[in-house]
Structure 1
Amino acid sequence: MKKIKLLQQITEQGVVAVLRGETPEEVVEMAEQAIEGGIKVIEVTMTVPFALRAIEDLAKRYSSTSSDPSQFAIIGVGTALDPETARAAILSGAEFVVGPSLNPATVTLCNRYRIPIMPGCMTIQEIQTALELGVDIVKLFPGNLFSPSMIKAIKGPLPQANIMPTGGVSLSNLGEWIKAGAIAVGIGSDLTADAVKSGDYSLVARKASQYIEAYKAAKA
């Protein structure tokens, strides 16, 4: 049941912060600010040096089962290329797994441990294969290669597919993606670029708040 609840929470939140950085400490700071700004689903990518340390630190502090809003967050791992990486992240506290591509072995492992897995797909064939493997949410990646109308095209033959565009989603087009049928969106560098450039990580919280407001407006 935990997997079902996690999927419900992720889709209810609707915005996933995809975090990259130079150190685990930097990513933890980004995550804290994103959570403060209202984005409660955090994806720590495995391109971060010592990424598992960041996942473990965040998983100890935040929980998807917390009744305290300040301590509620769903911590996951991104850029999981293989099942070994996914399993290590799960043992470090990751509650969901995201990959840049469809790796059947990774999907099998996540299904075994009842962990939501969101593989990156670009084609109808990849999405169909993902569904056949038991994937609940497909990451449309890279999203900047498509327009929101792509979701309607996908849902023509595959109306049962739940699509989460990632890459190229911004404040200016988030509403279009949601209204087109995206079940959630992944936000990457646009969330953190200003903060990294200026060294002021409170800008992540400010931008996160703007994304949450844009998401709520689109859903309304």
Structure 2
Amino acid sequence: MTALSHILQHQVIAIVRGLAYEDFLPVAKALSAGGVRIMEITLNTPRALEGISMLSDHFDPDTLLVGAGTVLDAVDVTTAVQAGAKFIISPHTDLSIIQKSRELGAVSIPGAFTPTEVVAAYRNGGEIIKLFPAAGGLAYLKDIRAPLDKIPLMPTGGIDASNIRQYSDAGAVAFGIGSSLLGKGPLDLQRVTENAANLLRHLRPEHDNKNTLL
């Protein structure tokens, strides 16, 4: 399975920002146990590249696909892919980031907000477009999708178990999710697993949570 196919199949990308290095593997295992198969480590997280490398070595990509987020330039793309990142997510549209990601074989997920930005990101090689910030909510996604229904969109921010199905029904192909999975207080690995399983049950009621052999 290609990385792009994996993302489109599993849909939920867990955003890990500011986590301690020693927590990367326990959190990845907790997410995987709950059914989440994609993890983004933002590059403004301490030791992010080490974490990407370690997790890429530990997990088969079909079990947990690991990528880099908050990628701000083409140099970051190169170092992230060398560390093992299979996808590159940025908060904005930068053609050099898109081009370098595609050149190195990583899935390109640039950020965009307005219709003009979304179209530009897609026409220039973005494979999934991160709709960011998603402060406009479900209504804004529907407004964007009305004329741009052929462009795969990944809303990021404000998505949880209570609304993820609505976003899916409105046409989102993937979802960037942080605090709804990891929580905002002290890290609780059991809660991370429960949050992941609960989110997927709401996204796909037929979801059968099966613990992954880690």
- TM-score under structure 2 length normalisation: 0.91
For residue 57 of structure 1, what is the aligned residue in structure 2? 54
CA contact (8 A) 2:15 2:40 kept: yes
Map of 1:122 onto structure 2: 113
Find the aligned partners of 2:19 and 2:177 in 1 and give their Cα distance. 18
Residue 114 of structure 1, CA deviation:
2.4
Q: Secondary structure at the match of 2:92?
A: coil
The separation in 2 between residues aligned to 1:99 and 1:26, in whole angstroms, is 23
The answer to whether the aligner puts 1:217 opposite 2:205 as a matched pair is: yes
Provide the aligned C-alpha RMSD in A: 1.7
Aligned 1:1-220 pairs, distance under 5 A:
5-65=2-62, 72-143=63-134, 145-193=135-183, 197-217=185-205
* Aligned-partner Cα distance in 2 for 1:169–1:113: 30
Whole-angstrom CA distance in 2 between matches of 1:80 and 1:38: 26
Segments of 4+ moved more than 3 angstroms: none
Higher mean C-alpha deviation, range 117-126 or range 210-219: 210-219
CA distance in structure 2 between the partners assigned to 1:102 and 1:137 by the alignment: 12
Between 39-48 and 21-30, the greater mean CA deviation after superposition: 21-30
* 1:176-207 CA-partner distances (Å, limit 9, x unpaired): 1001000011111121125xx24432211111
Distance 2:170 2:148 in 1: 14
Change in CA separation of 1:190 and 1:108 when aligned onto 2, cut-off 3 Å: same
Worse overlay, 23-32 or 101-110: 23-32
Residues 35, 196 of structure 2: 8 Å contact kept = yes
Which has the higher mean CA deviation after the structures are superposed, 73-82 or 200-209? Answer: 200-209
Higher mean C-alpha displacement, 80-89 vs 152-161: 152-161
> How far apart are residue 147 of structure 1 and its match?
2.1
> Separation in 1 of the partners of 2:154 and 2:205?
18
- Per-residue deviation at 1:29? 2.3
| Length, aligned pairs only | 207
1:83-104 superposed Cα distances (whole Å, 9 cap, x missing partner)? 1111101000010010111111
Distance 1:200 1:110 in 2: 34
Counterpart of 1:211, as a letter, is L
TM-score, structure 1 as length reference: 0.88
Residues of 2 paired with 1:189 and 1:91: CA distance?
28
Gaps of 5+ in 1: 66-71
Identity %: 29
